[in-house]
Structure 1
Amino acid sequence: MRSLLTLSVLLALIREDNGQKPTVSLLPKFPDVFVGDDITLICNGGGEPIQWFINGDQQSHNTSLMLLTSVTSKNNGMYRCERAGSKSDPYTLTVLELEPHAQLSPSVGGTVVSKGGGRNMELQVEDDLKGWKCYVLRGESGSRLQLTRVEENKAVMYAELMEAKRATFWCKKDTQRSNAVTLKMTELKVMLEPPDVPALMGERVALRCAVWGGGKVETAEFYRNHVLIKTIREDTYIIDKATQEHTGEYSCHATYRYSHIGADRDQEEGDSDAQELKVIGGPPATTVNSTSPNSLRCSCSHCPVDCTSYRWYHTPNNSFVRQTLAENTEDITVEEVGRYSCRKDCGKGFSRFSNIYIYNGEQPESKSLYVAIMVAAILMFVVVLTVVVMCRRCGGSRFQVVKCRS
């Protein structure tokens, strides 16, 4: 009897320990989640089995970590988890259909790297880098990274996987942050390199079949969801205008040589891991139109109502450096030749960049002079025509003006 009582007490203690109410938390701990982010929801606590619910609907996912890739507003909702029969409070996920305040991207190469490898990543901000810090999340472990080669509004950091299979990198300053870039590990020589950021509908997408160590691809077969879609004698498959139908798991089979090591190297071949390509709508985009030869207007019909300010950018001819202009109004007057673009400032983030408007330096004065010359020529023609008509009336078909009398 005493042993049964002891056992019941132990079971009660176990239930009390494992029966604590689970909680849902977000990794990385972003102040805001932007469209295109990779995030992980964690069901904290103890006990099995584990179940997940989204907006009250039970999901098939049954582990403590729920990875959501390239999130959009379709992922918005109430997330709850259950462990050993105990449900968490709901966690509300809200994805902002905006672009963050800074851009982070690999300097060279894609987001798929060999085991233990890494990439240099470039951080570019609108203003200056003071106060910006960068971080990495490997699994559930996060740490801060060192910025190097710091310039006025651009810096570089080395992003490495170490022993992780995937790692997410981002930078932030107070409540502002950059986009997040996820590196993924492969142990194969052949790797499919998807875009650094989620593919946007209607835009061009390049999928590259690369070989570790600089092998030259001679032919490449590309697969979507394990079905062959294209065989080419190059290393890059181009989707001209991405649609939802292009979403899927992509892989490639490459025939290649290490010809830079020796001209007589044997031909080799191999498969890549599958990589996800997700085509999303993305944030709304602005449009630049000219209202006169050197006046431009920025408009965005689908931007949220709280997007009240504007950002204008100018890239001089023969330059790739985009400069932020001081103007923050809908209309601006331009003087310098080059490429102009804009986007709307929505507080927590931005709309997408607009189309590029090329200004060649045509001034209103030059156009007015051209119009004046054309008007003068037309008037002169009218005068000559009038004289000819009058002379015909006076002299029939004879055009000698000296014989025309009043």
Structure 2
Amino acid sequence: MRSLLTLSVLLALIRGNKGQNPTVTLLPKFSQVYVGDDVTLVCNHKGGNKPTTWFINGSPQSMQSYSVLLTAVTPTNNGEYKCEQGGLKSEPYNLTVLELEPHAQLSPSIGGAVMTKGEGRNLVLQVDDDLKDWACFVLRGVSGFALGVHVYEKTKRASIFAELKEAERATFWCKKKGTALRSNAVTLKKTELMVMLDPPAVPALQGEPVALRCVVWGGPKLENATFYKDTTKIKSSSEGTYVITNATQNDNGKYSCHATYRYSHISAQAAKREGDSDAQELKVIGGPPAAALISKSHKSLWCSCLSCPVSCTSYLWYHTLFNDPYARRRLSENDQTITMKKEGLYSCRMDCGKGFSRFSNVYNYKADHMPEFEVLLYILVGLAALIILTVLTVWMLKRRTCGGNTLQATGWGKDKEMLMSVCFEQRENL
């Protein structure tokens, strides 16, 4: 009897597992998705890589993979995502992209989005508050890992060492423990070629400049770089950089480069070499609304964001040292206007609750300093005036002492005769 009961329970479990619907999971597991993030939707991750049909807002899609990568997401990616495996459909996953910036910024200290195999790169974390409760993570494929965070208390910044390991691409981000506050996501990609087309590691924003660099591993002398968009030649340059001054949707596409170079730092007679890069996708997005900073007077600044949503209710001001772009510090002021007190770079943005507006343009403030030659001139003029005043004072005192009224004073005796002789000598000298 007991064996029959056990058998029935096993059969029920088998039937239940066989008929279990797949589920859609978002990776990384962000509580809020911000514009510009790279995210992956996974169908039944535990079930392995099965043939999968995806539906977006009810429409079947052509991709058959169990995972879907969405790069530099915008509100156009909002909608209902479902997947189907073995005739069974998942419950819908509703994706909502906030057109705001997250609460912290993560960016490479050097370089762009592409690294050679085995290479690593430092990513710098900047936050408005204390860094001690921040932790950082990486998603390689569909596997996530925690990373060590190096905090520099003196400079109030933190960094992580980003490496791809064996993954073709990886997404890095940081989060404040116990809260929903996080940084933007930075995606780095691997190449095994000597020549690489290196776009920025942050999303390309419409209306802003974008620089695409043609880089050769090992730092040889670059003699020429030819850039291509969707296999069509667009520019040749010895500088190795192609700049899009005003990015638009028309600039979307896959870019690559062909480089001619020599390792002349190893040998003066180094042979000429050449090679092609991988094609890298460039996606231009609108991005969050940007604040604007206007100088009202010599020391006063005014912040405005006409395109910000109504949830943006307060102003945040920042000061950065001239010699350290990662030393940005949030100021205590939260009014629409401020008075600049220290030299440096000033910027502003608006707090919109779940995120921020984009940073404003930067205002370069230098306090009034008198040129050195003017300071020296004023010192010399002041000394000359002091000498002249001293001479005149002494001369006036001597005239008063030797005047007639003084000499007619009584009761001096021999001192009077001595003073008269001194005054006579002084008049002769004058």
> Is TM more than 0.5 here?
yes
Deviates more, 1:94-103 or 1:283-292: 283-292
Aligned counterparts, 1:7-406, within 5 A? 17-44=17-44, 46=47, 49-151=51-153, 152-173=155-176, 174-315=179-320, 320=325, 321-359=327-365
Q: Could you give the per-residue CA deviations for residues 230-280 of structure 1, whole angstroms, max 9, x where no partner exists? A: 111221111111111111111111111111111111011111111111101
Q: What are structure 2's unaligned runs of at least 5 residues?
A: 1-10, 369-430
Q: Could you give the per-residue CA deviations for residues 58-109 of structure 1, whole angstroms, max 9, x where no partner exists? A: 1111110000001111111111111111111110111111111111111222
Shift in Å, 1:295: 3.2
Q: Tell me, what secondary structure is at the counterpart of 1:176?
A: coil
The answer as to whether partners of 1:168 and 1:183 remain within 8 angstroms in 2 is: yes
Q: Tell me, what secondary structure is at the counterpart of 1:245?
A: helix
Name the CA shift for 1:85/1:132 in 2 (closer, same or farther; >3 Å).
same
Aligned to 1:398: none
The answer as to whether partners of 2:50 and 2:66 remain within 8 angstroms in 1 is: no
Q: Tell me, what secondary structure is at the counterpart of 2:150?
A: coil
Structure 2 letter corresponding to 1:155: A
Normalising to structure 1: TM-score of the pair?
0.82
Structure 2 letter corresponding to 1:153: K
The answer as to whether partners of 1:340 and 1:359 remain within 8 angstroms in 2 is: yes
For the residues of structure 1 that align with 2:237 and 2:298, how far apart are their CA atoms?
45
For the residues of structure 2 that align with 1:148 and 1:259, how far apart are their CA atoms?
37
Name the CA shift for 1:203/1:261 in 2 (closer, same or farther; >3 Å).
same
Normalising to structure 2: TM-score of the pair?
0.77
The answer as to whether partners of 2:51 and 2:66 remain within 8 angstroms in 1 is: no
Greater Cα radius of gyration, structure 1 or 2: 2
Alpha-carbon RMSD: 2.2
The answer as to whether partners of 2:131 and 2:151 remain within 8 angstroms in 1 is: no
The answer as to whether partners of 1:19 and 1:84 remain within 8 angstroms in 2 is: no
**Percent identity over paired residues:** 63
The answer as to whether partners of 2:188 and 2:201 remain within 8 angstroms in 1 is: no
The answer as to whether partners of 1:200 and 1:280 remain within 8 angstroms in 2 is: yes
Q: Tell me, what secondary structure is at the counterpart of 2:228?
A: strand
Aligned residues: 353
The answer as to whether partners of 2:52 and 2:84 remain within 8 angstroms in 1 is: yes
For the residues of structure 1 that align with 2:242 and 2:304, how far apart are their CA atoms?
34
For the residues of structure 2 that align with 1:356 and 1:55, how far apart are their CA atoms?
41
Deviates more, 1:65-74 or 1:153-162: 153-162
Q: What are structure 1's unaligned runs of at least 5 residues?
A: 1-10, 363-406
For the residues of structure 2 that align with 1:37 and 1:318, how far apart are their CA atoms?
30
